[in-house]
Amino acid sequence: MNKCIFLDRDGVINKDFVDYAYSLDKFFILDGVEEGLKNLKDAGYLLVIITNQSGIAKGIYTREDMQVCHDYLQDRVGGIIDGIYYSPYHQTITESLSRKPGTLMFEKAISKFNVDVNQSWMIGDKKRDLVPAIKMGLKTIQVDGHDDQMADYVTDDLLSASKYILEQ
């Protein structure tokens, strides 16, 4: 079985915007992200992003727009991200079990990558990232924790989260 770091995207990997980040002029990778991801990868963790992208259901941007951002991200980090799961839905348009705090994206990734949840973590910035992770038995880290703090550990950013994980 494999150990894995699950990551929220907006607010963890790239700067979050209330009106979505869906084009390269607004897709700003946060400081320390490349280094933090590389450190975790070097320690043997898979890296899997689990992200809500309801702007697609709302017609604000397309899957293709999102893919341009994900291709750019992979370029910046040397292609080390193993999987990116996204939920394009929003309850005002259509209900879905995949949208966080639903667990379906986690269940799919855990199955596909044969993940040992006991050795794995979720890094997110919102309560809705952590609720499904806790349900799945993952340890949790909250970054930029302005939302309700409910994680095992709270810190400022992905790089410091990676250091904490590697100290365990």
Restricting to residues 119-158, which ones interact with Mg ion according to CB under 5 A? 125
| Contacts (Cβ under 8 Å, ≥6 apart) of 3 | 44, 45, 46, 115, 116, 119, 120
HSE value, Cβ hemisphere, 13 Å, CA-based, for 22 = 19
Q: Provide φ and ψ at 130, rounded to 5°.
A: -90, -35
Q: How far is the CB of 129 from Mg ion (least distance, A)?
A: 6
Tell me if residue 147 is catalytic.
no
Tell me if residue 8 is catalytic.
yes
Span interacting with Mg ion, options 55-63, 85-93, 118-126, 147-155, rule CB under 5 A? 118-126
The answer to whether residue 11 forms part of the interface with Mg ion (CB under 5 A) is yes
The answer to whether residue 8 forms part of the interface with Mg ion (CB under 5 A) is yes
Locus of tokens 């992905």 = 158
The residue annotated as part of the active site, out of 8, 16, 65, 125, is: 8
Quote the CA–CA distance of 84 and 46 in Å, as a whole number.
11
Locus of tokens 């450190």 = 39
The answer to whether residue 103 forms part of the interface with Mg ion (CB under 5 A) is no
Give whichever of 8 and 54 is closer to Mg ion, judged by the CB atom: 8
The answer to whether residue 10 forms part of the interface with Mg ion (CB under 5 A) is yes
Q: Which parts of this chain interact with Mg ion (CB under 5 A)?
A: 8, 10-11, 125
Give catalytic residues, as residue numbers.
8, 10
